[in-house]
Amino acid sequence: MTIDWTRNETLVALVILAFGALAALSDPGFLSIATLTDLLRGGIVLGIFATGVLVVLISGGIDVSFTAVAAFTMYATAMVLNAVAPWMPWWAALMLGAALGAALGAINGVLIAGLGLPTLIVTLGTLSVFRGFMLTFVGQRQITTLPPGMREFGRMMLVRGENPDGSIWSLHAGILVTAGVIALTWFILHRTLLGRQVFAIGGSEESARRIGIPVRRVQFLVYVYVGALAGLAGMIHASMARVANPFDLVGLELSVIAAVVLGGARLAGGYGTLTGTVLGVALIVLVRNSLIVLGIPSTWQSVAIGLLILIGTGLPAWQARRAARRAA
Amino acid sequence: MTPLPAPRPLSRLIGSPEGRLGIIAVTVFVVMAALSPDRFLSAANMTSMAFQFPEFAILALAMTVTMLTGGIDLSVVGIANLSAIVAAMIMTRLTGDGTGLVLLALAASLGVGLLAGLLNGVLIAALGLPPILATLGSGLIFTGLAVALTGGSAVMGLPPAMAWIGNSTTLGIPTPLILFALLALGISLMLTRTAFGVTLRMYGANPLAARFAAIDVGGMLVRVYVLSGALAAVAGMLVMSRANSAKADYGSSYLLLAVLIAVLGGVNPYGGYGRIIGVVLAVLSMQFLSSGLNMLGVSNFARELIWGSLLIFVMIVNTRRPRA
Amino acid sequence: MSDAIQPPAPPEALITLDGVTKTYAGITALDAVGFSIRAGEAVCLAGENGSGKSTLIKILAGVERPNRGRVLIDGRPAEGLTPRAAGQAGIKVIFQDFSLFPNLSVAENIAFSAELGAGTRLVRRARAGDLARATLARIGVAIPLDARVETLPVAHKQLVAIARALATEARLIIMDEPTTALTEREVRVLLGIIRRLKADGVAVLFVSHKLAEVLEVCEHVVVLRNGAKVAEGPARDFDAASLTRHMTGRAVGGQAPAPLAEGAPELMRVEGLGKAGAFADVSFSLRAGEVLGVSGLLGSGRTALAKALFGLVRPDAGRIAVADRAVPPGDPLAAARAGIGYVPEDRLTEGLFLTQSIAQNVAVGRLDAHAGAGGVLDLRGLLAEARDWLGRLSVKAPDPDAAVRSLSGGNQQRVVLARWMARSPRVLILNGPSVGVDVGSKAEIHGIIADLAAQGLGVIVISDDLPELLGTCHRILVMKAGRVTEAIAAGGVTEADLAHRLAS
C-alpha cells in the first residue's frame, strides 16, 4: 500500500498514532477496552454531525446551525412525545427527530439554494433563530423524564464487559447508527448521481449549471440532509445523556468543523472523503477526552483544538500555496 | 445617451442604502418610544444607551474592516476577552500607583490585540488560509488561553482608575461614546483618504485584479487583521471597564451582533462595499431595538431570535435590491 | 445548398434563430440575429472576439435567455430554454472555457452529461468508464481515465471537453473555439470527426476566428460583427480576405510597423528563463522602441511566460534584467518598481475593479506615489493625474467618477493601459490587448502600441490574433510546448504561413 504523505488523512492518522503512543506512555492503562469504548461513545454523536457537515462542505457551502437544529429537535421531540405519543418505539422516535431536523434544514435550504444568500452568514442567523425560538417559545427547563422510546434507546448496549477493577465498560448501540449513517452517506456520495452532482457543484457551480445539473434542487437537498442528520444526532445525544437539556450541543460546531476540515475537506468545496472525516472525528474525540492523560488540564482543550485546526489546515494550505507557486 | 432626470430628494434617500438605514434607525426609535414612552424617552435611558453601545459598536468596526476585504474576523470576541484578562491580571497582580498601572495594563492589552491580529494576518496572507478557518481556529485559541489563564472565573478587584473610561463623562458626553466617535471618524478617513484604505477597498472589490495591479496585497491583509485585533482589544477594555472585571466568556453574543450590524450597515460580506456611516446608523438601530426590547421585558433568548431573524431579513432585502 | 436534385419537400431546419437580441446592462451583445441550421449541416459562425458569438452560444445552450426574438427547434419555438431542456433536445455545447469539473476524473467528466440524460439514479463506474474509453477512442486520444481533470494539461482538457459533447446522442453540436489548444494533427482529427458527424445527420455549429478551419469544414457561413449579422452564405462564396473584411469591417490591413531605429539600446534581457511544467530555456532581448510578439497555441506556455516576466509566476531558472539591473523574480511589486507593466488577458476579472470608479481604476497604481505622511493621500493630485491620463489615451468617459463597468470594451482596455502608463514603465507587456474590443477601438489600440514604441518603451504583445501580430510587431517569437522554436522578423511571413508555424 503506497502511503501518500501529502494527504490530510495520512497526517491525521499519524497524529492519532502519536497521541495514542504518548498517552500510553503516560498512563499504561490508556490502551484498554474501556478507553476504546469511551472514545467510540464520544464519537457517536460527533460522527453523525461531521458526516452531515462533510456533505455541505463538498457542495461548496458551510453550515454552523446544525447544533441548534439538533438541540431544537431533541428538546421539542422529547416534549411532544411525552405529551402526545409516549408509546412511540425508539426507532420511530429517532426517525421523527430526523424528520424534524430535515424540516429545519429545509429552511436553510430555501434561504441558501432558493434565494442564493451567503452560507456562513445565513446559517449564523438560523443558528440564533432556531436556538432563540426554542428557548423563548418551547421551554428552558431540562426534560429529565424522557419518553420511553428514547429511554429504551439510551439503555441499549451493543456489548458490555468487566474491567480488571470491577467496573463495567460498554459500547452503546448508537455506534451502529453512526456506522449506518456513514455507510449511507458513502453510498449517496459515491454511488448515486445525486452525490456526484454534489461533488460537481462543489467543483464548479457554473459548469454544473451549464450541463444541466439542477443546482438549486441539489443544494436544497444537501441542507435538508444535514438537518436530518443533525436531528438524528440530537435525539441520540439526549437518549444517551438520559436528559433533554436545551442548552446542550451548541458550542460543538467548531469541533465538528475542525474534524471535517482536518480530514481533508476543503472549505471551497469539491473535495472531502469519509475516511478523512472519520479520522478527523477520531482525533477530535481523542483530544477532547484524553488531554488529561497527557497531563494537560481540560481548560486547555479549546486551545488544543484551535491549534489543531490551524496546523491541520494551515500546513496543507501552505503546501498548496507552494505548489501553486511551483506550477504556472 | 440622454442623462437621467435628477432624482427627487426623497427617492434619492430611499435609493441609497445609507439613506434607508437612517429611516430604519428613526423608525426603530419611534416605535420603541411609542411602546414605552416614559422609560424609553427618559434622560436616564438615553444616557444608558450611550454608555452601552460603544463596546459592541467598536467590535462592529473591526468586523467591518475585515469584511471590506471579503474576509471576516470570527476571533474578535476572543481577542477582546483575552486582552482584557491580560490587562486585568496585570492590574491585580502587580502593585503600584493606580493610573500608571492602568496605563501599563492598557498598553499590554493593546499589545495582545495587535499580536493576535498579526497571527490572523499571517495565517491568512502568508499561509493562504481562508479567513473563516483561520479566525475560527485562532478565536478558539484566544478564548482557550483566556480560560486557561483564569480557570474560567472572572478576574476582579480592578483599581478604581480603570472604571473611569467606561463610566465617566467628558464635557457631559459619555467617554465611551467619544471614544467610539473618534474611532469611527478615524477609520472612515483612513478608508477614503489613505493609500492603505483605498488599497483595502480595491482588494475587496476584486482580489485578483489587485494582484495584477502590483498592489502589496499581503502587507495590506496583515495590517487589516492587526487593525481588527487592536479594535477588539479596545472593545474588550471598554467591557472590562464597565463590568469592573474580566472573564473569558463575556460578550459571547457580541459576535453575532457584530456581523449583524456590519451586514445591516450595508457592508457586502463578499467585499468591496461598505460605509462607516452605514455601520454607525446600524449600531444606533440595534441599540434602540435592544433597549426597547429590554423595557418590554423581552428575554435574552427572544432577543437572540430577533437578531437572527433580522440578519436573515436584511440579507434577503439586500440581495433583492439591485446594487446601485 | 448544392445544385443536386431537390428533395420532394424542403427539409425543416433543425434550429432557427429569429431576431434574437440580447442586452447586458445597456450593452447590446446581440442585435436581431437570425439564421438556420439544418440537420447534417456544418455552419460556421465567424467573428472576432467580442462579436457576440459567445452570447449566441449561451442562448442556444439555454444558459441565457434572449431579450427579444426566439429560438425554434424543429420548427417549434423553445420557450424558456434551460440547459437541461437544450441537452434533451440534443443540443450539446463545447464551451470555450471547457466547463469541466476539475475535482472529478476524466471518465466522470465525459460521462456526466450522459448520466444526467439517462435519468439514472445510481452510478456505475464501469459504465462511465466504458463510455469514456469509447468516446476518447473516437477522437483517437488516450488520456488516463482516472486522472483528475485539474491535473491535465490544457490540450487534454480541451479534448476531454470535446469527448463529453460527443459522448451522448446529439442532434446539434456547438463548438466554441475548440481548437485553440490543439496541434494541426489534432485539429485534423477533429475535422474528420465533424465530417463523420455530418454524415450521421448531426448538425454542427462551429465557432471560430481561425479562417482556414472555418472554410475547410463548413457548408454555410454566418459572420457576426459587433453583435449583428453582417454576412451569410455558402462557404464557397467566401475566402480569407472577404471573411476578414466582414469580420473586421475594414480591408485587410497589410500594414507593418514602423522600422526600428538603428542602435536602439537594449531595454530588457531575458536569459534561460524556465518554469517546470510551463516553459523552458527562454531567452531574448528587447530593445527600446521595439514591439516583440509572442504567440503559440493555448497551452504553449505563452501566458505563463508573460506572467513570469511580471513576477506573477515564479520561474525556476534564468534571469530577467531591465536596463542592466536584475529584476527579483516572482514578485510583481519588484517588477513594477523595475519598470515592467502588465496588462492582463481578461480585463473583466483580472484587470478592472468593475464596481469602482474609472478614476480609481486608473489611480490605483499610483497610491504610494501620492501618499504623504502617515499614508494620507493627496486626493486632488492623484485624481488630477488620473484624469490627465484618461485624456491622453482618449478614453471616452464623460464622468470619471462613474463605475468603470459602464464603459465599452475598448475604453475599458484603455483604462487599464492608462493605469500602467501613469507609472512610466520601461517595458509594457500586453496579453491579448484587443480581445473583445470593437473594431474601431482595436485599430486605435494598435495605434497606441505604435506610439508607445515610438516613445522608446519596449512592448511585448502576447496574442494569437495573427493580423494583430503582423501589424504591430517587429519580431514574433513562436512558442511550442514551452519552448521558443523560432523568431520571425516582421514582413518575413504571411498569415497563413504563421498559422502553420504555430500549430504544426
Q: Which residues on A lie below 8 Å from C307 (Cβ)?
A: 328
Q: Is residue C485 part of a domain?
A: yes
Using a CB-CB cut-off of 8 Å, the residues of chain B touching C360 are 198, 202
| A302 contacts chain B (CB < 8 A) | yes
Q: Among residues 9-68 of chain A, which lie with CB inside 8 Å of chain C?
A: none
Q: Which residues contact B93 (CB under 8 A, 6 or more apart)?
A: none
Inter-chain touch C350–B215, beta carbons under 8 Å = no
What percent of chain B has pLDDT above 90? 56
Q: What is the CATH number of the domain that holds C354?
A: 3.40.50.300
**Position C64 in a domain:** no
Among A35-39, B6-10, B95-99, C66-70, the range scoring the smallest mean pLDDT is B6-10
A to C CB pairs, distance under 8 Å: 85
Contact: A270, C102; criterion CB under 8 Å:
yes
Query: H or E element: which one contains B290?
Result: helix B276-295
CB pair distance less than 8 Å for B316 and A115:
yes
Residue C362 lies in a domain: yes
For chain C, how many structural domains are there in total?
A: 1
Q: How far is CA A87 from CA A84, A146, B251, C283, in A?
A: 9, 12, 43, 83
Q: Which of the listed ranges B111-125, B295-309, C421-435, C452-466 does the model predict with the highest average pLDDT?
A: B111-125
Q: Is 50 exceeded by the pLDDT of residue A237? A: yes
Structure confidence by residue, pLDDT tens digits, C282-333? 999 999 999 999 998 888 889 899 999 999 988 999 999 998 899 999 899 9
- Shortest distance between the Cα of B207 and any Cα of chain C, in A, equals 9
- Partner residue facing A121 (CB), from B123, B269, B303: B269
* Secondary element (H or E) of residue C164: helix C154-166
pLDDT digits (tens, 9 = 90+) for A44-59: 999 999 999 999 999 9
Q: Taking all residues of chain A, what is their mean pLDDT, rounded to a whole number?
A: 89
How far is Cα B222 from Cα B118, in angstroms, rounded to an integer? 6
3-state class (DSSP) for residue A279: helix
Nearest CB to C377; choose among B193, B202, B212: B193
Residue C298 lies in a domain: yes
Report the range of poorest mean pLDDT among A221-225, B2-6, B98-102.
Answer: B2-6
pTM: 0.87
Interface of A with B in 91-120 (CB under 8 A): 111, 115-118, 120
Closest by CA to A233, choosing from A170, A303, A195, A185, is A185
Structure confidence by residue, pLDDT tens digits, C100-133: 999 999 999 999 988 887 777 888 888 889 999 9
pLDDT at A110: 95
- Tens digit of each residue's pLDDT (9 = 90 or more) over B3-39: 555 556 777 677 777 888 888 899 999 999 898 888 8
**Residue C199 domain-assigned?**
no
Mean pLDDT of C235-240: 84
Does any domain span residue C78?
A: no
Q: Which of B136, B255, B256, B314 is the best residue to mutate to test the A interface, defined by the most A CB atoms within 10 Å of its own CB?
A: B136
* Minimum Cα–Cα distance from B202: chain C residue: C353
Secondary structure percentages of chain B, helix, strand, coil, to 5: 75, 0, 20
Does B254 have pLDDT greater than 70? yes
pLDDT in tens, A172-198: 889 999 999 999 999 999 999 999 999
- Range among B39-43, B186-190, C165-169, C258-262 rated most confident: B186-190
Residue of A nearest to C316 (CA): A326
Choose the closest CB to A193 out of C100, C104, C123. C123
Query: What is the span of the domain harbouring residue C349?
Result: 266-503
B195 neighbourhood in chain C, CB within 8 Å: 367-368, 370-371, 375, 377
Chains meeting A at 3+ CB pairs closer than 8 A?
B, C
Amino acid at A310: L
Residue C425 is assigned to a structural domain of this protein = yes
Can you tell me whether residue C15 is helix, strand or coil? strand
Q: Tell which residue, B32, B48, B52, has the closest CA to residue B296.
A: B32
User: Tens digit of pLDDT for each residue in C139-193?
Assistant: 778 899 999 998 888 888 988 998 998 888 889 999 988 888 787 778 888 888 8
Band (pLDDT 50/70/90 cuts) for residue A300 is: confident
State how beta strands C76-77 and C68-73 pair: antiparallel
Residues of A in Cβ contact (< 8 Å) with C148: none
What is the pLDDT of chain B when averaged over all its residues? 89
Q: How are beta strands C266-275 and C317-322 bridged, if at all?
A: antiparallel
The nearest CA of chain B is from the CA of A164 a distance in Å of 34
Mark yes or no for CB contact A192/C123 under 8 Å. Answer: yes
Out of A195, A203, A327, name the one closest to residue C103 (CB): A203
**8 Å CB contact of B216 and C419:** no
Nearest to C350 among B208, B216, B273 (CB): B208
C143 neighbors C160 (Cβ within 8 angstroms): yes
Residue C337 lies in a domain: yes
Model confidence at C10, in pLDDT bands (50, 70, 90)? very low
Which residues does chain A have within 8 Å of residue B128's beta carbon, measured at their own beta carbons? 317-318, 320-321
CA distances from B217 to B69, B269, C333 (A): 10, 19, 10
Residue A214: its chain C contacts at CB < 8 A?
84
DSSP per position, C193-235: HHHHHHHTT-EEEEEES-HHHHHHH-SEEEEEETTEEEEEEEG
Mean pLDDT across A252-269: 89
Q: Helix or strand or coil: residue A99?
A: helix
Alpha-carbon gap: A267 to the closest alpha carbon of chain C (Å): 14
Residues written for chain B: 324
User: How much is the pLDDT for A6?
Assistant: 65
Q: Does A1 touch chain C (CB under 8 A)?
A: no
Mean per-residue pLDDT for B177-190? 95
Average pLDDT over residues C85-101: 88
Which residues 204-223 in chain A show a CB within 8 A of chain C?
204, 206-214
Cell of A45: 454523536
